[in-house]
Structures are given as structure tokens and as C-alpha cells.
Amino acid sequence: MERNGWTPTACYQCKAECAILVRVEDGVVKEIKGNPKGRGKACVKGMAGVSLQYNPDRLTHPLKRVGKRGEGKFERISWDEAMDIMADKLTDLKERGEAHKFTASFFPHSITDPKWRFLDAYGGFINTALPHCDSAKILSFIKAMGGVPNHHIPPAFDTVPKGGIMIMAGRHAFGCLDDAAVPRDILNAKERGAKLVVIDPLFTADAAKADWWIPIKPAGDTALFLGMINHIVTNELYNKKFVENWIREGDFDKLKEYIADKTPQAMSVICDVSAKNIVKLADMCAAAPSVGIDSFKGIMLGQAMDFGHAWTMLLAVTGNIDNPGGQPLPSLTPMSPVEPIPTGPDLSELGWHRTGPNRDMFDNYGFIMEPTWYEAQAIKDDGLKMLLVSECNPAMTEMGQDEWRKAVCMAGEGDEEYKLELMVSYELMLSETSKYADLVLPDKSYFERWELMYMPWWYNFGQGILLRQPVVEAAGECRHSNEVFIELGKRLTPEYFDFKDDLEFYDIQLAGLGLSVEKLLEMGGIWTTGTMGFRKYEQAGGFGTPSGKVHLYWEDLEAVDQAMPRPGLAAEYEVDVDKYPFILVSYRTIFHQGSGQWTHNNPQLRDPVSGMYDNPVLINTAKAVELGIANGDVITLRSRTGEVQARAKLSERIRPDCLGLHHGFGSTIGRVAVTGDGVSDNALIPDSGSTLEWQDMVGGESHVSTRVSIV
């Protein structure tokens, strides 16, 4: 392959997958920048892709476990042997009538991913980490407005008018991009006269750029929004035209009644934002030409549907749905189906969650995929027998990571060494999770593979469809997971894999748009509708909800007391307050994506000068002085679940009742990842599967934080 010069493709140093240009010289990746045909930006992680590509820790051939699970001892094997091991186990499960006990856990980049097809054809499950960060929001938007089931759809910041309000409620857009161009768009909107309000217990980079920083108590966001809605509704400041025309009949009266006692004063006690400020923010939102709200962490705390619900209500009463600067509602692009369409496992028979004991607790669970945090529970209950983990690192990202590790190592019965009979890790470099695998498979990097990316969340980002193409030869014997799943499909369910390869599979789907991979290449790898369209519900004659209007009252959730949003903090913050006086705030920075080796084992990003080297515990200066803690002291944090030791970093940037810990550190493998200090927040956070009473059982969102004490 000779591709000298700049080639358009898609970044994958984080899950945003921005459109980039890559410069190759003599078959070597030299430089990366944003693609002006897309959104035109690449971030610091994106540009550090060069160091990922040539990392000496890259896996180059399949490995098989030789020691015990967790020891991390492997020997080299051939691809033929690796494929046989997987095909044999899959055949064995199918013959036992237990195909549904196979789960592939991966980040679902795209609905064009052939891995989904394999799982539907074979009868296995996909689980995903989306229920950590976004499933409740997706469900809330579907319930309220009939939106499409898409991941993170931020406000279209580039459409915010003068005077518009941008609210970041637990969202670190300047550090945690989810699109490298968002900071630029927010700053441009500010230039046009829009206002940025950052609601966060930490003073983040976003807060530094904000017109107003509101240091809320963690999980107080629902209460804050309900207090605002109370003020807006009781003072008749709501958007009367929108409410009259577009809210389902009867719902606004129910809201009025419900909201009556959620006064700014009452809500202030919960969220620790003064009533005066709740009123001020409510007045600002009611008067502004647009309000856009973005959040991730604000909903990742076990009361997710409640916050998602309050969020959609605030948008509805202020009329900020599908308007410039408000909440966009994307439409789906018509891709062609690949015939025949596999039916998928019978979920009504097998249950959304396959494990016995707690299945009834999930009766109201409405998300389309299973949360990864149920893996440990499923293994214990013999509901999960083969797990393939690709592009994720549950040994560090699961709440109660030690519970996951224990479950994966649980002894089996009869001939089986382990309850989980086969564990496969598909990776770029050995990870914490790979240490627990029986098979480790070497993936092609994003510079080495084809991939057709389509997810409606790119809608705002100026990308409809984005092609990832190989720009350099694959390292060693690396094979892309999509190629491997297509081969498994051809072996096990050939009737559904009657196409040559991944490229033909993409061609079939692109035909729906009158495109092909070749045409897309000629167009520079990007296809976009070009326009967004606003208030599409007006032309369409309504919203995608059963009534065609916005639903504020969710009668299907009456039985679980969630027909209206509950204002309280996350359940686990409410107990053992004296024993564990601090709330741990886990958060991200620009230098690392999640916990994984892609950025933590990258010498450009895991670096004291050009990146981030360790994760000290952030503690409020006054509080530290009161406790006799000095900057740099090693302190022990204890929670209900575990204990870690870390260096203290004194700062004015955090509430006195909180401690901050950057998520994702603490790897014990990878020659760069083990340098510097670093602890994993998930050693402290309780396992979600065994603390179901603290989970959002409707939206599937788990708690990604907890209460701690300083020992």
C-alpha cells in the first residue's frame, strides 16, 4: 500500500471519532490534523495517534493463556488455532441451547458494524458501556420527544444565537471533548453574545471560560432543574405557544401539580445552590432566545432517568426543542438493509438480562443493549459462559472492578476450569482486562483498517457518514475484529454472511444513499446532509411519541414511582453520611480516554510535561488545612468497597465536601502506563450488580461515584 501525502480518515483515540487527515511518508504515519471537510479539528489525544501506532507494546499476533487467569502469562498461537478455539466454544454453546450465554462487549461505533449482525445471527448478546454514561438520557429523550435512539447529542453550539444560554450540567466539554471542535463552537457562540453556565462541583476548564460557575452538590442537578421549573411555571414565564401546541393534553396540568412544592427554597436544601441563584438561572433561561443543555456525568449517578426527565421538562417548558441553540432532534439516514435480516435472540423469552435472581428487577428497563456492569452478576449466576471484550477495559472501568475480576476467575464445575468458560480480549496492547483472558487477539489500529461509521449522533458534528480507511500496512498479523466476526459468521451462520468481505457489506448498506465505498472515497470519505433543519416536528405534523406531542408524565413508570422525576440525590450519597463524609467526584481530562492503554500507555499523553502523569486526590485547601493535610501528603481514602493511597493536591477548585479523582489511572501493565503514580477510582466504587438498589433500574445507568472518608 502506498498512500504518501494527506489521506482523510477517522480518528479513534477516543469515542468521538472525528474526521482527520493523516500524513504518511514512506509508509509511516507522520502527522495528524483535523479534516476541514469535517469539523476541522483534532485534539491533543488525536494528534498523539502517531505514538499509539508505533508503540512497542502493540500486539502483533494472537496469544493463549498459559498461567492462571489474571497472571497475564501467554504463549504465541496461530490465527487458525485462535479461530478454532472461538468457533468450537460458540458451536458448543449453541448445541447446548445457550447461544445467549455468549456476550460481545464493545463500544458500538456504528450501526453498520458487522459484529452486531453476527450477534443477531448467532443469538448472542451485545453489551456496552453506554449505560454508564448516556442510556437514561437516550431513553428520556425517546419517552419525552420520540427522538431516535442515539448516543450523545449535544446542543448545536454553532447555532446558538446572541443571548442564548449554554448550560453544562456535569459536562467537561473543554477537556473531555466528544468532538474536538466543540470548545471552538462554544467560544464562538460566546463571541456572538451567548452565555455559558457551568454547573459542576469542580472548577474545570469549562468553568474558567464560563460567565457563571455554579458549584453544585453532586447529583443535585435534578433538584436544581425542578426548582427552576417551579419558578418558571408558577410565575407563568413558560413558552405558552410551545406548551399549548406541543405538550400532550393534560401533561402540563400534571406537571403544575407535581411541581407545586418543588420550590427553589425546597430544592436548594438538596442541591446546595441558593434559592436566589436557582431563580436567577430560571429567569435567565425563560428570557433567553435559546437554551441548550449538555450533560454526561450529571446523569451517571444512579438517579439518571430522574435527571433525564427533569432535563427534557425544562427544555419543553422553555420551548427549546429542535430550535437553533436548543436540543436538536436528528433524523435517521436511510441505509439499505443487508438481506436476509437476522432476527436476533428472543429477548421476551430470555429477558433483557439473562441472569435468574434479579431479572424481575429489570422489568422496566428499556434500553436496547445490556449494561456491561451486569457481567460479573451474570457470570456468578451461570448466565454468561463466553465473553469477548473488544475496545473496552472492564477490569478497570467497571464499578467495583475487583468484583468483576473475582467473577471472571470463579472456579467452574466438572471439566470447566472457570464458570466463565472462555474469555477473549481483543486489544491493541495488553491491558488490565487482557490479563484475565484465555485468548488475546491483536487488532488492527484505526490507521490500518476499513470501517464505515454511521451513528446519528454525528448529525451535529457535520458528519453523516464517515469512512475510516487504511493508510499504512497492518502491524504483524493484526486482523480487524470486523474481519474476524465476518469469518466466524461464514463458519457458523453462513446464510447471513453471503457477501465477500467488510467492503462488500458496507457497499450494500451505502446503496440506500446511492453510494458505495468507492464513491465515498472519491468524495473524500465524508457524506453529510449538509443542513440540520429546525422544528422539523412542525412539518412532520408532530413528534415521534404515541400522541405526536411531548410527554411530560410517564405513566408507564407509575409502578416504580418514576412517572415524575424524583428530586433526591443519588441513593448511595444519602447513606453513611457521617462515616464517609466526602463525595468522590470522578472526572476526566483532555489527555486520556477512559482507562485504556490507547492513551494511558502513550508516552506523549502519559507524560508530566506534554500530558498527565498521575492522578492526585483533589482536596479543598481550607478543608485540608482543617484536617492537617499538606500538599503532596500521601493520604488513604476509604469507601464501603475499598481503600486506595494517593497524594493530596490542595486546590480552591473543588467543593469542601468533595474529593476529586481523575478516572482511569492505576494500570499495572504497559511499559508507559505503569510509570508515575496513579490509582483507580473503581477500587473505591461499589460493584453495580450487587448494589442494584442504588442503580437506575429503568435507564440502566449506574453510579460512577461514591462516598469516601480520609483515614
Q: What secondary structure does DSSP assign to 570-632, as a single string? A: PGGGSSSTTTS-EEEEEE--TT--TTSHHHHT-TTTSSTTTS----PEEEEHHHHHHHT--TT
Backbone φ/ψ region at 402: left (φ over 0), alpha (ψ -120 to 50), beta: alpha
| Among Mo ion, ligand SF4, ligand MGD, none, residue 394 binds (CB under 5-8 Å by kind) | ligand MGD
Which CB, 171 or 419, lies closer to ligand SF4? Answer: 171
Number of residues that bind ligand SF4 (CB under 6 A): 12
Identify what 681 binds: ligand MGD, ligand SF4, Mo ion, none; CB under 5 to 8 Å per kind: ligand MGD
Query: Where does this chain touch ligand SF4 (CB under 6 A) — which range of 9-17, 223-231, 540-548, 620-628?
Result: 9-17
Among positions 171-210, residues that touch ligand MGD (CB under 6 A) are 171-172, 176-178, 199-202, 204
Query: What is the torsion angle, in degrees rounded to the nearest 10, for the CA atoms of residue 74, residue 76, residue 79 and residue 84?
Result: -50
Which residues contact residue 690 at a Cβ distance below 8 angstroms, ignoring those fewer than 6 apart?
376, 377, 400, 403
Specify the 3-state DSSP secondary structure of 366. Answer: coil
> With respect to ligand MGD, which residue has the nearer C-beta, 247 or 679?
679
482 binds, among Mo ion, ligand MGD, ligand SF4, none (CB under 5 to 8 A by kind): none
- Segment contacting Mo ion (CB under 5 A): 133-141, 387-395, 507-515, 690-698? 133-141
Residue 455 binds to ligand SF4 (criterion: CB under 6 A)? no
- Taking the C-alpha atoms of residue 147 and residue 141, their distance in angstroms, rounded to an integer, is 6
Nearest to 103 by CA among 121, 86, 126, 87: 126
- Pattern of binders to ligand SF4 over 155-184, x per CB under 6 A? ----------------------x--x----
Min separation Cβ 453 and ligand SF4, Å = 11
Does 107 engage in binding with ligand MGD (CB under 6 A)? yes
**Cβ-based nearer residue to Mo ion, 89 or 588:** 588
Draw the binding track, 356-395, toward ligand MGD (x: CB under 6 A; -: no contact).
Answer: ----------------------------------xxxxx-
Give me the least distance between CB of 124 and Mo ion, in Å please: 23
Taking the least distance from each CB to Mo ion, the nearer of 120 and 375 is: 375
If contact means CB under 5 to 8 A according to the sort of partner, which of ligand SF4, Mo ion, ligand MGD, none does residue 562 touch?
none
Query: Which residue lies nearer to Mo ion by CB, 178 or 507?
Result: 178
Q: Please give, one letter per residue, the 3-state secondary structure of 398-419.
A: CCCHHHHHHHHCCECCCCCCEC
State the DSSP code for 420: S
What letter would DSSP give residue 161? P
Work out how close the CB of 260 gets to ligand MGD at its nearest, in angstroms, rounded to a whole number. 25
Whole-number Å distance between alpha carbons of 211 and 376: 44
In 137-176, which positions are buried (b, 16+ CB within 10 angstroms) versus exposed (e)? bbbbbbbbbbbbebbbbbbbbbbbeeebbbbbbbbbbbbb
Among 303, 586, 639, 688, binds ligand MGD (CB under 6 A): 586
- With beta carbons less than 8 A apart as the criterion, state whether 309 and 317 touch: no
Output the 3-class SS for 667-695. CCCCCCCCCCCCCCHHHCCCCCCCCHHHC
| Torsion 612-618-624-625 (CA) sign | positive
Nearest to 47 by CA among 647, 702, 642, 590: 590
Q: Least distance in Å: CB of 572 to ligand SF4?
A: 31
Spatial distance between the Cα atoms of 569 and 574, rounded to a whole number of angstroms: 7
**Min CB(39)–ligand SF4 separation in Å:** 9
Q: Is 8 or 215 the residue whose CB approaches ligand SF4 more closely?
A: 8
Residue 296 binds to ligand MGD (criterion: CB under 6 A):
yes
Residue whose CB is less far from ligand MGD, 158 or 178: 178
Concatenate the DSSP letters of all residues of 74-88 into one string: EEE--HHHHHHHHHH
Q: What cell was used for 263?
A: 420550590
- The candidate with the shortest Cα–Cα distance to 43, out of 5, 22, 14, 23, is 14
Separation of first and last alpha carbons in the chain: 58
> What is the layout of strands, in order, in the sheet containing 74-76?
74-76, 63-65, 439-442, 422-427, 386-390, 102-106, 125-128, 370-371
Nearest CB to ligand MGD, comparing residues 465 and 704: 704
Contact window for ligand SF4 (CB under 6 A) among 15-23, 265-273, 566-574, 607-615 = 15-23
Residue found under cell 472518608: 709
Bridge partners (DSSP) of residue 168 are 198, 294
Would you say 45 or 231 has its CB closer to ligand SF4? 45
* Per-residue b or e along 507-532, where b marks 16 or more CB atoms closer than 10 Å to that residue's CB: bbbbeebebbbeebeeebbbbbeeeb
CA separation for the pair 265, 339 (Å, rounded): 58
Q: x/- binding map, residues 432-471, to ligand MGD, per CB under 6 A?
A: -----------x-xx-------------------------
Sequence-distant (≥ 6) Cβ neighbours of residue 229 within 8 angstroms: 255, 259, 262, 282, 310, 313, 314, 317
Q: How far is the CB of 21 from ligand SF4 (least distance, A)?
A: 11
Residue 16 lies near ligand SF4 (rule: CB under 6 A): yes
186 vs 704, which CB is nearer to Mo ion? 704
Q: Which stretch binds ligand SF4 (CB under 6 A): 40-48, 306-314, 364-372, 514-522?
A: 40-48
Q: Is 467 in the site for ligand SF4 (CB under 6 A)?
A: no
Q: Show the site string, 112-141: x = touches ligand MGD by CB under 6 A, - = not.
A: -----------------x--xx--------
Nearer to ligand MGD, 319 or 394 (CB): 394
- Choose one: 11-19, 212-220, 519-527, 548-556; the region binding ligand SF4 (CB under 6 A): 11-19
Residue 58 — left, alpha, or beta (φ > 0 → left; ψ -120 to 50 → alpha)?
A: beta
DSSP class of 105: E
Give the residue at shortest CB distance from ligand SF4: 46
Give residues in contact with ligand MGD (CB under 6 A). 12, 14-15, 107, 129, 132-133, 169-172, 176-178, 199-202, 204, 216, 218-219, 221, 296-298, 301, 390-394, 397, 426-428, 431, 443, 445-446, 585-588, 590, 592-598, 663, 681-682, 685, 704
Residues that bind Mo ion (CB under 5 A): 133
Q: Which residues bind ligand SF4 (CB under 6 A)?
A: 11, 13-14, 16-18, 42-43, 45-46, 177, 180
